[in-house]
Amino acid sequence: MKNDLNNLMEINIQEFQDDLITWFKNEQRDLPWRKDQDPYKVWVSEIMLQQTRVDTVIPYFLRFIEWFPTIEDLAEANGDKVLKAWEGLGYYSRVRNLHSAVKEVKEKYNGVVPSSPKEISNLKGVGPYTAGAILSIAYGIPEPAVDGNVMRVLSRILSIWEDIAKPSSRKVFEQAVRELISHEDPSAFNQALMELGALICTPTSPSCLLCPVREHCHAFDEGVQNVLPIKTQKNKQREVQLAAVVLSNEKGDLLIHKRPETGLLANLWEFPNLEINHPIQNNRDEIARLFEKDLKLNVAMDRMIGQVEHVFSHLIWNIKVYTGKISSDFIENTEWKFVSLDDTENYAFPVFTLKIIKLYKDYEKE
C-alpha cells in the first residue's frame, strides 16, 4: 500500500494507453457533445456534468445548444433566458459563471475559446478539471482532467491511498495523469478514464471482470478494489424548516419574487417564503404575521396544501406550502410581480419552486 506514485514504474504505459483507448473507441456511449470537438460544446457539457448525472444532462444540453448555438449567441443572451435554459439543473452559479466567461471570450478572444492553459484557467468558473477537459478533448493538448471519477479509477489502478476528499490529493492524481496520458490522443485518453469510471470502475461493486485495464490494476491484484478510494465523509446536511405561500390577487394572478443577485439561487424567481424557527410558527396566523414583519407583505392565509423537500449539498429544506390572498394595494416592482399560472412558464425558477407550482396546480384541480 503506497501513498506515492511508485506503482507507475510497474505499469507498461504504452500498453495501458492502448488497452484503455481501444476499449473507449469501441464501447463509448453515444452522447450529443461527442458529435464533434467544438470547444464551446465541450465547455457547456463539462459545466453541466458537474455534480449531475449524464442522463439528466442530455436534454438540457440539447435545449441549451438549440437556444444558444454559438458563443456569440450565449454572450448576447438575456440573463433571465439563460437561467430559464438551466432551470432544474441546480448549482446555478455554474451557468452565471459560464455566461460571464463567454462574454469575456467574445470580447477578448473574438469568440474563440482560448487554447492556452493560462488563459483558459483565468475564465470565470473554469477550474483545473474544466480547463483540462476542454484543452484535451477539444484541442488535443495533453493536460490532466481530474475529477472524482478519475481519482477513483487511478486510486485503484495505482493503489493510491490518499484521501480523495482532500483538495491536496488532486495534485497527486494530476501528476499521475501527466505520466500516463497519451500524447498521440489525449482527447480519447481523458474521455476513456471518465467513461471507465462511469461504466466499469464504479463507486461500489466495480465490474472488474469487464475492465479493459484489469491487468494493469494494482487494487485488483491486491484484492482491495472495494476498499479504494479512501474518501472521508462530508459533514451532515443541515435541515431547515420553511414556509412558502402562493399568494393571489383579486384577478387570480400569483405573486412571485426575484432572489438577490448574489448568494444561493441568485436571480431566480420564487414564491414568498421564510424560515420557521419555532413550533408556534406553524400556526397560520403566526406565519401571516411573520410574512408581514419580515417581507412587509399584508397577507390573509388560507390553508396548507402540502409540503415539499429540496436537498442541497449542505442543506435540506422542508417547506410547508400555503395559499393566501395579498392585499389589493400591493405595488409591483423589479423584485415583485404578479403573473398568471400559465405565465410562470416564462420565468426561471429553482426546483423547489417548480415543485410548489406542481403542488398548487394539483390543488387547483381538486
pLDDT tens by residue, 23-71: 999 999 999 999 989 999 999 999 999 988 999 999 999 999 999 999 9
How many residues are there in the chain?
A: 366
What CATH number did the domain enclosing 103 receive? 1.10.340.30
- Structurally, how many domains does the chain consist of? 2
Q: Is residue 212 part of a domain?
A: no
Residue that has been written with the C-alpha cell 394539483 in this structure: 362
Strand ranges (E), 82-189:
none
Of 236 and 106, which is predicted with more confidence? 106
pLDDT of 323 > 90? The answer is yes
118 and 258 fall within a common domain: no
Q: pLDDT band for 4, please (50, 70, 90 cuts).
A: low
What is the distance between the alpha carbons of residues 146 and 174, in angstroms, rounded to a whole number?
A: 6
Q: pLDDT band for 364, please (50, 70, 90 cuts).
A: confident
* Grid cell digits, residue 264: 444561493
Q: Is residue 215 part of a domain?
A: no
Q: Mean pLDDT throughout 11-22?
A: 96
Q: Is residue 207 part of a domain?
A: no
pLDDT of 1 > 50? The answer is no
What is the distance between the alpha carbons of residues 85 and 74, in angstroms, rounded to a whole number?
A: 11
194 and 279 fall within a common domain: no
What's the burial of 45, exposed, middle or buried (CB within 10 Å: 0-12/13-18/19+)? buried
Q: Is residue 36 part of a domain?
A: yes
248 and 182 fall within a common domain: no
Q: Is residue 210 part of a domain?
A: no
182 and 276 fall within a common domain: no
Neighbours of 263 (CB within 10 A): 9
357 and 271 fall within a common domain: yes
* Grid cell digits, residue 260: 438577490
**What global pTM score does this model have?**
0.86
What is the distance between the alpha carbons of residues 268 and 265, in angstroms, rounded to a whole number?
A: 6
Among 27, 46, 119, 286, the active-site one is: 46
pLDDT digit string, tens, across residues 335-363: 999 999 999 999 999 999 999 999 999 98
Q: Is residue 248 part of a domain?
A: yes
Q: Is residue 219 part of a domain?
A: no
- Please report the pLDDT score of residue 46 as a whole number: 96
181 and 66 fall within a common domain: yes
Q: Is residue 68 part of a domain?
A: yes
CB 172 within 8 A of CB 164: no
120's enclosing H/E stretch is helix 117-121
269 and 357 fall within a common domain: yes
338 and 249 fall within a common domain: yes
Q: pLDDT band for 2, please (50, 70, 90 cuts).
A: very low
pLDDT of 119 > 80? The answer is yes
- Please report the pLDDT score of residue 28 as a whole number: 95
61 and 135 fall within a common domain: yes
Residue that has been written with the C-alpha cell 491484484 in this structure: 221
- Domain membership of residue 89 as a residue range: 6-142+175-199
53 and 188 fall within a common domain: yes
Q: Give the phi and the psi of residue 234 in degrees, each rounded to 5.
A: -75, 160
58 and 193 fall within a common domain: yes
Q: Give the phi and the psi of residue 27 in degrees, each rounded to 5.
A: -115, -5
What's the burial of 208, exposed, middle or buried (CB within 10 Å: 0-12/13-18/19+)? middle
What is the distance between the alpha carbons of residues 263 and 199, in angstroms, rounded to a whole number?
A: 35
Q: pLDDT band for 282, please (50, 70, 90 cuts).
A: low
What is the distance between the alpha carbons of residues 108 and 100, in angstroms, rounded to a whole number?
A: 12
Known catalytic membership, residue 364: no
pLDDT of 278 > 80? The answer is no
What CATH number did the domain enclosing 360 receive? 3.90.79.10
Q: pLDDT band for 328, please (50, 70, 90 cuts).
A: confident
Q: Give the phi and the psi of residue 163 in degrees, each rounded to 5.
A: -75, 110
pLDDT of 6 > 80? The answer is no
194 and 252 fall within a common domain: no
pLDDT of 197 > 60? The answer is yes
Q: Mean pLDDT throughout 235-245?
A: 90
